[in-house]
Structure 1
Amino acid sequence: MNMKKMIAVFLMVAMMIVSLAGCNSGGSSSGGAETDTYRVAFVARTQADSFAAWLVNEMKSAAEQYPDLTLDVFDGQADDEKVNAAIENAITNGYDAIIVQPNNGEAQRPYVESIVEAGIIAITTNARIEGIDGASSVDADPYVQAKVNADIAIDQIPQNAKVVVLNGPSGNFHADERRRAWEVEFFEKRPDVQIVGEQIAGWNKDEAVRYMEDWVTANSEIHAIISMNDNMAAGALEVVKNNPALSDILSYGVDGTPEATLLINEGTMTSTCLQSAIDLAEANISTVHKLLTGEEDEIHMDIDAILITGENAQAYVDMYTERGLIN
């Protein structure tokens, strides 16, 4: 073989090696087979309240079921500026998908729109932000969540009762819709019931404790606590737990947290609506995987709203115990 032919053969082999190296670059491989790894950011509203913390843990567990997906969690600390900054950082860092749990839907709206504009998959969850073209959503119906409680409260709360109301953050889709459901499904049907205290406690147990202390001081009778989530209901119940005059107080919440199921099971709390962080997390991760792999272009879905009372609370206590959420 002359020198020109040897050079030509050498160049051909070199080109083949470079080509093969290029085919194996990008993504991760296992046993020689190439697989894409998708990077997903979950911007959590906060990890300080019980439901939000539960959702974070379930999101991590659900993501572990998908070997081609990694999940990073960012804590918004119930602060719009921190939530928005986390979204901006996730966009800058080039995540393949960003799941946002809004602190205040309207405050996060332009930032979620920026996710879509950047060509990144966007999902809003707990609560969804309506009307963002190109964004998907995974949520529960907050009106129904409150309605299932209001439907039984109609017969449970006595005539001419005095009640207190604990609200979530103003402008939050879940907070506003749950309060609207109580108005339509209960207060309009029970005009005899008097609201003697109503405040925004922002889903926060400590805030609920503070307001309930004031209401107990100002009112000799309170027949029911109507709360837009379990965390606030649990806080209000702490205030009255050693008060024999309020030992029969009724209390309603939403989320179906481990704490709430224990309180219901022991007869301290009346009812809650399950907003399963397990189902919500599994739906979010399944949805983002379908969007990333191109199985779907856009998805909007709600999980079920299940009423928990003294009749079925033990089943949920058992479930949480098995998952290590109740000792």
Structure 2
Amino acid sequence: MKLRKLGSMALAAFMAASLVACSSGGTGSSAAGDSSANSKSAAGDGKGGKKVCFVARASADTFAAWLTEEMKKEALNYPELTLTCVSGEGDDNKENSLLEDCITKEYDLVIVQSNNNAAQAPYVKKLLDAGIPVITTNPTTHQSDLDGSDNQDVMEGTGTVDADPIEQAKVSAQRAVKEVPQNANVVILNGPSGNFHADKRREAWTEYFLSKRPDVKVLYEDYANWNSDEALTLMEAWVQAGTHIDAIISMNDNMAAGAIEAIRDNKEYIGDDGKAKFLAYGVDGTAQGCLLIKEGLLTSTALQSAADLAKKNMEYASKVVKGELKVTEVNDHVEAPQINAENVNEYLKIYVENGEISESDIK
């Protein structure tokens, strides 16, 4: 089955990423979650170059893994920098420990992808107190994450490169208003509680879809924490309860893929002609998500380009460590264009050209 093939592709990608992370080639990096390694970088000779660390939230998160690989590629364009990549593996304590380790290793700048904004904010503050500039990315850390206030400004002393999670969800929510059938039963898959992107995408679905379609029933809703396996397990249980699900609303493509896997062989959801008897919406515009759209199993998603995020992060990191820009002047966002059946081929072409997928993967 195509989606099972995609699962294997994702696993292979994660394994490859882990192998790259443990090697000394390319950018300097450490094994996921192992902050003790710090190898030399082809993007810096390790002899006086400025040291930058990217702390990702989890290598098993398809978007975080994609962003990590793009950061490594982009770092090759900055010979004055040595980039190290580590992963908190979706564990707040582990990620916080990695942030503390950045102080010990005296990095010149740290780029943080929080797993839980409020949990990481105090440790971002520790970095700032140690005199280390911090850029938060995917998601932004806000002042409210640190002090519990209502202040939604970027956390004092930091910079950010991000995407707007409201816009990311809005593009699909608005079309869902028109295409989800009357009196539909929908299920909702959420990212981690406390994660800025997860929370805001969910808020957007309430504002732009649920509030406009009071006839729709939210049959089930739960946290799958960006994880396809967790989403698959939830969807299996929901389907077994017996009520037909008309639409899957997912806060990212990876969870949508897991939910779709759970019903791929179910004739109640896939017709004899192979066409889906359900709608499904995601966010991120990953290669996996685009392939699912091409196959007719994912209705739409919004691109969150890891390549664009990486380019901006490394460009600003270089300027900050060279003293050309204050970190607090870094406040930039990437766009969130909708991807659907009408335009998916142009995005698949990009993924083929950059080597993430091959022509044979496209059905």
Shorter chain as normaliser: what TM range? 0.7 to 0.9
Secondary structure of 1:245's aligned partner: coil
Displacement of 1:312: 0.7
Q: Deviations over 1:202-237 (max 9, x none)?
A: 011010001000111113311100000000000000
Displacement of 1:60: 0.4
Given candidates 159, 162, 176, the residue that maps to 2:199 is: 176
Give the letter for the 2:97 counterpart: A
Secondary structure of 1:163's aligned partner: strand
Given candidates 95, 115, 135, the residue that maps to 1:83 is: 95
Give the letter for the 2:303 counterpart: L
Given candidates 57, 67, 80, the residue that maps to 1:55 is: 67
> Which one has a larger percent strand, Structure 1 or Structure 2?
1
Give the alignment's TM-score, normalised by structure 1: 0.88
Give the letter for the 1:200 counterpart: Y
After TM superposition, the structure 1 = structure 2 runs for residues 180-199 of structure 1, keeping only pairs within 5 Å, are 180-199=203-222
**Distance (whole Å) between structure 2 residues aligned to residue 151 and residue 95 of structure 1:** 43
1:274 aligned residue:
303
Displacement of 1:36: 5.9
After TM superposition, the structure 1 = structure 2 runs for residues 1-327 of structure 1, keeping only pairs within 5 Å, are 37-131=49-143, 132-247=155-270, 248-297=277-326, 298=328, 299-327=330-358
Give the letter for the 1:265 counterpart: K
Larger Rg: 1
Displacement of 1:57: 0.2
The size of the alignment, in residue pairs, is 293
Displacement of 1:244: 2.1
**Distance (whole Å) between structure 2 residues aligned to residue 85 and residue 310 of structure 1:** 43
Displacement of 1:37: 1.6
Tell me, which stretches of 5 or more residues in structure 1 are unaligned? 1-34
Give the letter for the 2:99 counterpart: I
**Distance (whole Å) between structure 2 residues aligned to residue 293 and residue 62 of structure 1:** 17
Which ranges of 4 or more aligned residues in structure 1 deviate by more than 2 Å? none
Percent of pairs with identical residues: 51
Give the letter for the 1:73 counterpart: C
Tell me, which stretches of 5 or more residues in structure 2 are unaligned? 1-46, 144-154, 271-276, 359-363
Give the letter for the 2:211 counterpart: E
